[in-house]
């Protein structure tokens, strides 16, 4: 039975400040700071820790009743002072919450005042402010808002240099490491933002670290304004909301906008762009990766052809996965997201012009109960998305292939590759194995060769 639905049930999205906190963790020596209630910081820490298994300290201005009545200025300043004293950060990334946004705190103004008032105290960290009201958009908007705010605060115009800015979107630490490896192999100078490859997936500590090592240094971000070009992943990310968009507007750094490079076609576009921008051919290593992937496609094609899949998660990830699945002959019968950019269908159509013929259905702004209702009709062979689909997967006995964020019920989500030939290879292997496992389990014979 279909029910009227005003409430969101089992949300397929998170709130704006979460994305900002993660992005700020990708700046070297930066403490994320939420201007709002204590709970926001604590819940978000808990949520991120459950995926990344790393310490993630997020400060809070810890609103009380008086703060809500008289404004958060006093608390914010004390908080910044305490974070400066305790963490000695180089950067503090302040993101707002529904509370501070609703009472209308002028955070940029407060930060200016703070810099004046505490001039002679401890060394003044760089203060970045991102506006991330939880009643707008979802976590991915907060992520981009923080990246854009960082660039806006730090980037300066300078003599043009051989440097490429890469804004990779909300990808895994493993993906970030892979991207850095690609640039290193191209011998192309890179400004990657954010880079939480180490802060959110680092080694053991010999001594206590107030702030885990890793991240893009502020000094590198300063140079983003004089880069040759920016590359930005995320097909539904608009220039007006993005870091590369800002750099194009403010410093004429050309913005190259790509889908997340998943699948051969989209990875090719990325590598071709790198060849154009650097004037160098791609290193043999990546030709090899590509060849192995094409070979794997051939080896595995029969398992996956015309398998029906429901895809869900952040819009950019869903769009990119749709492109990948369609090139291996799988049918994403539903592409769903809790996000609501209004662009998802358009972007999928650009990548897969015959999407209607393939009966690919696209829905934005949905929750897991909506997706489950669809699943009952569409009868997919499996689900692809983050851990939060497990409830419906179990209930309806549909296998779930986990990717993206969050992965709370499996180990190693932070080490999973999604991007480029390597990431696609990993995804393809896992997809094929999901099918094989399903067949093997369903068989009464128990074949030992599949």
Partner 1 sequence: MEQITILEGRQKQIFEKKKGVAQPDIACDTSSLSGSVSQRACVFCGSRVVLYPVADAIHLVHGPIGCAAYTWDIRGAVSSGPELHRLSFSTDLQEMDVIYGGEKKLYHSLIELIEQYKPKAAFIYSTCIVGLIGDDIEAVCRKVAKETGIPVLPVHSEGFKGTKKDGYKAACHALMKLIGTGAIDDISKYSINILGEFNLAGEAWIIRKYYEKMGIEVVSTLTGDGRIDAVRRAHGATLNVVQCSGSMTWLAKEMEEKYGIPYIRVSYFGIEDMSKSLYDVAKHFPDRPDIMEAAKQIVCEEVKTLYPSLQKFKKALTGKKAAIYVGGAFKTFSLIKALRSIGMSVVLAGSQTGNKDDYARLKEMCDEGTVIVDDSNPVELSKFILEKEADLLIGGVKERPIAFKLGIGFCDHNHERKIPLAGFVGMYNFALEVYQSVMSPVWQFAPRKGGTL
Residue 243: how many CA atoms within 13 Å on its side-chain side? 36
Q: Which of residues 272-301 bind partner 1 (CB under 8 A)?
A: none
Residues 367-426 that bind partner 1 (CB under 8 A): 388, 391
Size of the site for partner 1 (CB under 8 A): 76
Distances, alpha carbon 37 to alpha carbons 17, 40, 58, 120, in Å: 12, 6, 12, 29
Q: Which stretch binds partner 1 (CB under 8 A): 9-17, 178-186, 343-351, 434-442?
A: 9-17
Question: Which residue, 68 or 349, is less far from partner 1 as judged by CB?
Answer: 68
In this structure, what DSSP letter does residue 329 have? T
Residue 119 interacting with partner 1 (CB under 8 A): no
Question: Would you state the structure tokens that stand for residue 142, as one six-digit string?
Answer: 């907060």
Residue 173 makes contact with partner 1 by CB under 8 A: no
- Please report how close the Cβ of residue 233 comes to partner 1 at its closest, in angstroms: 24
Nearer CB in complex with partner 1: 110/293: 110
Name the residue nearer to partner 1 (CB basis): 133 or 413: 133
- Regarding 164 and contact with partner 1 (CB under 8 A), the answer is no
- Residue 320 to residue 260: CA distance in whole angstroms: 6
CA distance 421 to 50: 28
| 57 near partner 1, judged by CB under 8 A | yes
Q: Is 327 exposed, middle or buried (0-12, 13-18, 19+ CB in 10 A)?
A: middle
Told to check if 40 binds partner 1 by CB under 8 A, we report: yes
Residue with tokens 């503090």: 92
Give the nearest distance from C-beta 439 to partner 1 in angstroms: 30
Strand order in the sheet with 164-167: 190-192, 164-167, 229-233, 255-258
Q: How far is the CB of 143 from partner 1 (least distance, A)?
A: 14
Residue of the chain from 71, 73, 102, 436 that contacts partner 1 (CB under 8 A) = 102
Contact call for residue 350 and partner 1 (CB under 8 A): no
Cα separation of 146 and 436, whole Å?
41
- Residue 58 and residue 34: Cα distance in Å, rounded? 7
**In this complex, which beta carbon is closest to partner 1, that of residue 17 or of residue 423?**
17
Give the Å distances, CA to CA, from 341 to 337, 346, 365: 10, 11, 9
Closer residue to partner 1 (CB): 81 or 345: 81
Shortest CB 61 distance to partner 1, Å: 5
* Distance from C-alpha of 368 to C-alpha of 208, rounded to nearest angstrom: 40
CB of 69 to partner 1, least distance (A): 10
How many CA atoms are closer than 13 Å to the CA of 32, on its beta-carbon side? 37
DSSP 8-class letter at 283: P
Residue with tokens 């240099």: 161
**Residue 149, interface with partner 1 (CB under 8 A)?**
no
Choices 46-54, 168-176, 274-282, 435-443; region in contact with partner 1 by CB under 8 A: 46-54
Measured distance CA(284)–CA(426) in Å, rounded = 20
By CB under 8 A, residue 122 contacts partner 1: no
Q: CB neighbours (10 Å) of residue 170? A: 25
Phi first, then psi, for residue 226 (nearest 5°) are -115, 20
35 phi, psi to nearest 5 deg: -90, 95
Among 169-177, 206-214, 298-306, 311-319, the segment contacting partner 1 (CB under 8 A):
206-214
CB nearer to partner 1: pick between 53 and 291: 53
Q: Residue 154 interacts with partner 1 (CB under 8 A)?
A: no
| Cβ nearer to partner 1, comparing 75 with 259 | 75
Half-sphere exposure of 358 (CA within 13 A, CB side): 27
By CB under 8 A, what part of segment 62-91 binds partner 1?
A: 62-65, 67-68, 75-76, 78-83, 85-87
Output the smallest distance, CB 364 to partner 1, in A.
Answer: 14
Tokens 């993206």 found at: 404
The span of 205-213, 324-332, 353-361, 372-380 binding partner 1 (CB under 8 A) equals 205-213
Q: How far is CA 436 from CA 227, 339, 448, in A?
A: 47, 32, 11
In terms of CB distance, is 98 or 432 closer to partner 1? 98
Q: Measured from the CB of residue 145, what is the shortest distance to partner 1 in angstroms? A: 15
| Min dist. Cβ of residue 99 to partner 1 (A) | 4
Nearest distance from residue 188's CB to partner 1, in Å?
30
């Amino acid at each position: 039975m279909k029910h009227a639905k005003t409430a969101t049930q089992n949300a397929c999205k998170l709130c704006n400040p979460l994305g900002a906190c993660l992005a700020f963790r990708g700046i070297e020596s930066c403490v994320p700071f939420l201007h709002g209630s204590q709970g926001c910081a604590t819940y978000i820490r808990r949520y991120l820790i459950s995926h990344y298994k790393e310490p993630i300290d997020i400060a809070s201005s810890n609103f009380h009743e008086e703060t809500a009545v008289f404004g958060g200025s006093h608390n914010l300043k004390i908080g910044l002072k305490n974070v400066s004293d305790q963490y000695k950060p180089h950067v503090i990334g302040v993101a707002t919450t529904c509370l501070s946004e609703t009472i209308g705190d002028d955070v940029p103004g407060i930060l200016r005042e703070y810099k004046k008032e505490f001039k002679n105290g401890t060394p003044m960290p760089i203060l970045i402010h991102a506006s991330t009201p939880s009643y707008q958009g979802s976590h991915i908007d907060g992520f981009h808002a923080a990246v854009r705010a960082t660039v806006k605060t730090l980037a300066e115009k300078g003599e043009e240099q051989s440097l490429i800015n890469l804004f990779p979107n909300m990808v895994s630490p493993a993906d970030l490491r892979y991207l850095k490896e690609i640039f290193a192999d191209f011998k192309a100078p890179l400004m990657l933002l954010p880079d939480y490859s180490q802060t959110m997936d680092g080694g053991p500590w010999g001594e206590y670290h107030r702030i885990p090592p890793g991240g893009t240094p502020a000094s590198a971000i300063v140079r983003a304004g004089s880069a040759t070009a920016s590359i930005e992943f995320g097909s539904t990310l608009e220039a007006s909301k993005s870091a590369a968009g800002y750099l194009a507007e403010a410093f004429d750094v050309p913005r190259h906008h790509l889908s997340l490079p998943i699948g051969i076609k989209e990875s090719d576009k990325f590598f071709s762009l790198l060849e154009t921008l650097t004037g160098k051919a791609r290193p043999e290593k990546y030709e090899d990766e590509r060849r192995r992937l094409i070979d794997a496609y051939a080896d595995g094609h029969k398992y996956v052809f015309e398998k029906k899949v429901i895809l869900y998660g952040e819009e950019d990830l869903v769009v990119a996965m749709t492109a990948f699945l369609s090139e291996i002959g799988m049918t994403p019968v539903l592409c769903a997201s809790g996000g609501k950019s209004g662009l998802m269908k358009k972007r999928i159509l650009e990548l897969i012009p015959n999407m209607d013929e393939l009966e690919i259905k696209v829905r934005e702004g949905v929750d897991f109960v909506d997706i489950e209702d669809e699943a009952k009709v569409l009868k997919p062979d499996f689900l692809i998305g983050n851990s939060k689909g497990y409830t419906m997967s179990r209930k309806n006995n549909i296998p779930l292939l986990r990717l993206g964020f969050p992965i709370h019920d499996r180990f190693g989500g932070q080490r999973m590759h999604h991007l480029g030939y390597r990431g696609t290879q990993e995804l393809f292997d896992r997809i094929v194995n999901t099918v094989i496992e399903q067949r093997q389990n369903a068989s009464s014979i128990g074949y030992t060769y599949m």
